[in-house]
Amino acid sequence: MVAALEARYRPALAEQWDHIGLVLGDPDAAVRRVLCVVDVVDETVAEAFDVGADLIVAHHPLLFKGVTSVAPTTPGGRLVHRLIKGGVALFTAHTNADAANPGVSDALAALFDLADLRPLAPRPDDPALGLGRVGTLPVPLTLAELTRKAADQLPKTAWGVRSAGDPERIIRTLAVCGGSGDSFLARATASGADAYLTADLRHHVASDHLAAGGPSLLDAAHWATERPWCDDVAAWLRAEHPVEVIVSDLDTDPWTLHAASPLSTEQKKEPSS
């Protein structure tokens, strides 16, 4: 199973700082049931035990930074101990899954039926691979319509979807990047996209981008932009390997509440016809 996962999500595609691959578990152990998750947290580890998973395939690393201890007094160490004691292996595909084709952003692009896909940030050694995707919508939409579509198509979170730009701007070409994508704002502009959907956009960065004439922005919850990848992994595993695969629908986005500000009198007015 590890060899198959590494063939699909090649370790060489990962960023140098990343921590991917088999985190714990015997690579030769039999795998009968797999749980696909975005985050390895208390809730998804408990779910792995509940469903009887032998292996967790996760997108985000359990240990993002190098450690000198996995003592159970730390959050990560506690989960390592639980998984080992419970006989559950853990495999992570992070930036290597982002850059693969198909990868994380392909699954995100599929929610919008984007055509003529190309990487937003292609790799120099292979332009067919890279981070993010750019494609054409099947039917042009206004930014307001696209924002509503994104809220409907993406997994539901308290964060929802917010957008920046002229609500009536016509969007024909959409760039997407699963996860934190504000480092690719310049790429989104250079791609010719009319809008860019990603997560974790910051105030000043977004403001400067729009002031410079960049594409409209859609900012969704980080977890929601990467959760579709789990379905893609699961479909591939079911088709290629004799294993049962379960996709976690636990919302592990850290933001759990959202209260919208009341509309002003001007905002409540019906637009003139």
Cα separation of 135 and 109, whole Å? 8
| CATH number for the domain running over 101-222 | 3.40.1390.30
2-96 against 101-222: fold identical? yes
Report yes or no: 108 and 102 within 8 Å, Cβ to Cβ: no
User: At a CB cut-off of 8 Å and minimum separation 6, what does 161 contact?
Assistant: 147, 150, 151, 154, 218, 219, 220
Instruction: Note the pLDDT of residue 272.
Output: 46
Q: What percent of the chain has pLDDT over 70?
A: 96
Structure confidence by residue, pLDDT tens digits, 233-249: 999 999 999 999 999 99
> Per-domain residue ranges for the chain?
2-96, 101-222
Q: What percent of the chain has pLDDT over 90?
A: 89
Higher pLDDT, 76 or 56: 56
| Residue 74: pLDDT over 90 | no
The backbone torsions φ and ψ at residue 135, rounded to the nearest 5 degrees and listed phi first, read: -155, 175
pTM of the model: 0.93
Q: Can you give the length of the chain in residues?
A: 273
Across the range 213-240, mean pLDDT stands at: 97
Instruction: Note the pLDDT of residue 268.
Output: 52
Across the range 124-139, mean pLDDT stands at: 97
Asked if CATH classification 3.30.160.70 holds for the domain at 2-96, the reply, yes or no, is no
Alpha-carbon torsion, ordered 32, 37, 42, 47, to 10 deg: -40
Structure confidence by residue, pLDDT tens digits, 134-176: 999 999 999 999 999 999 999 999 999 999 999 999 999 999 9
The candidate with the shortest Cα–Cα distance to 144, out of 195, 105, 184, is 195
Instruction: Note the pLDDT of residue 83.
Output: 96
Residue 47, H or E segment: helix 42-51
The residue assigned the tokens 């960023």 is: 15
| Residue 273: pLDDT over 60 | no
Q: Is 14 helix (H, G, I), strand (E, B) or coil?
A: coil
Structure confidence by residue, pLDDT tens digits, 83-95: 999 999 999 999 9
Q: How confident is the model at residue 266 (pLDDT cuts 50, 70, 90)?
A: low
Q: How confident is the model at residue 116 (pLDDT cuts 50, 70, 90)?
A: very high
Report yes or no: 56 and 1 within 8 Å, Cβ to Cβ: no
| Residue 269: pLDDT over 60 | no
Instruction: Note the pLDDT of residue 255.
Output: 93
Instruction: Note the pLDDT of residue 37.
Output: 98
